[in-house]
């Protein structure tokens, strides 16, 4: 009898956990960008403030758009093949780089073998309860993230270092192109359907690198 009651209890607990976590196959996440170090120049701060980052997820596809006043970059990733396409624009110049799975893994080699340390610290972002975690990279650097377990995106590799996070990262720190430390914070999570054409690879207008 005790074994039956224990089994029932485990089923109930498992059902509650599944109800709390939602695997989302379509969503759009908008992030604001800001400087972490207060000593950064006003020009740098203004440049970061005017930059945006948008992530689109649909099924096994993701697209990450990083747009600033100087350039724009889009990374289109296909989870089933592990292939990625990177689109860059500098003024009127447009470049495309295609990466198969082997090259994609090499591109993100610095994130292999990282360890995740969840802390007891929480904070609310957009109404989602987020856990603070530390990502320890093999080169000795540490990145701080906040993620919610309420949503699990179908493609977590929109940032490769997040692939083993059990949820959706809504705030994180990263190193910018000029070595500056920048912070990304979600300003909106939209769970509406995402148009398929967002993930279309251009067939002309780009120089292949």
Residue 202: CATH number of its domain: 2.50.20.10
The whole model's pTM is what?
Answer: 0.83
Q: How far apart are CA 126 and CA 135, in angstroms?
A: 22
* 1 found inside a domain: no
* 7 found inside a domain: no
How many domains are there within the chain?
Answer: 1
Residues 112-150 pLDDT 10s: 999 999 999 999 999 999 999 999 999 888 999 999 999
* 10 found inside a domain: no
DSSP characters over 169-191: EEEEEEE-TTS-EEEEEEEEEE-
DSSP characters over 92-130: TEEEEEEE-HHHHHHHTGGGTT-EEEEEEEEEEETTEEE
The larger pLDDT score, comparing residue 12 to residue 146, is at: 146
Domain carrying residue 88 = 20-208
User: How confident is the model at residue 124, as a pLDDT?
Assistant: 97
Residues 59-93 pLDDT 10s: 999 999 999 888 899 999 999 999 999 999 998 89
CA-based end-to-end distance of the chain: 67
* 146 found inside a domain: yes
Percent over 90 (pLDDT), the chain = 67
pLDDT band at 49 (very low <50, low <70, confident <90, very high): low
């Amino acid at each position: 009898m005790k074994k039956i009651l224990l089994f029932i209890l485990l089923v109930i607990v498992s059902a509650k956990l599944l109800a709390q976590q939602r695997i989302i196959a379509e969503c759009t996440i908008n992030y604001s960008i800001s400087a972490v170090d207060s000593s950064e120049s006003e020009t740098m701060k203004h440049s970061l403030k005017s930059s945006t980052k948008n992530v689109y997820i649909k099924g096994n596809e993701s697209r990450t758009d990083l747009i600033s006043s100087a350039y724009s970059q889009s990374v289109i990733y296909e989870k089933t093949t592990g292939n990625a396409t990177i689109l860059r624009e500098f003024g009127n110049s447009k470049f495309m780089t295609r990466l198969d799975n082997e090259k994609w893994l090499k591109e993100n080699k610095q994130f292999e073998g990282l360890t995740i340390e969840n802390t007891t610290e929480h904070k609310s972002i957009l109404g989602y309860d987020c856990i603070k975690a530390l990502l320890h990279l093999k080169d000795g650097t540490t990145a701080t993230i906040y993620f919610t377990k309420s949503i699990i995106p179908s493609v977590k590799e929109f940032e490769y270092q997040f692939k083993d996070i059990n949820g959706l990262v809504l705030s994180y720190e990263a190193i910018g192109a000029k070595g500056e430390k920048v912070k990304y914070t979600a300003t909106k999570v939209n769970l509406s359907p995402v148009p398929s054409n967002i993930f279309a690879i251009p067939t002309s207008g780009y120089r292949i690198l």
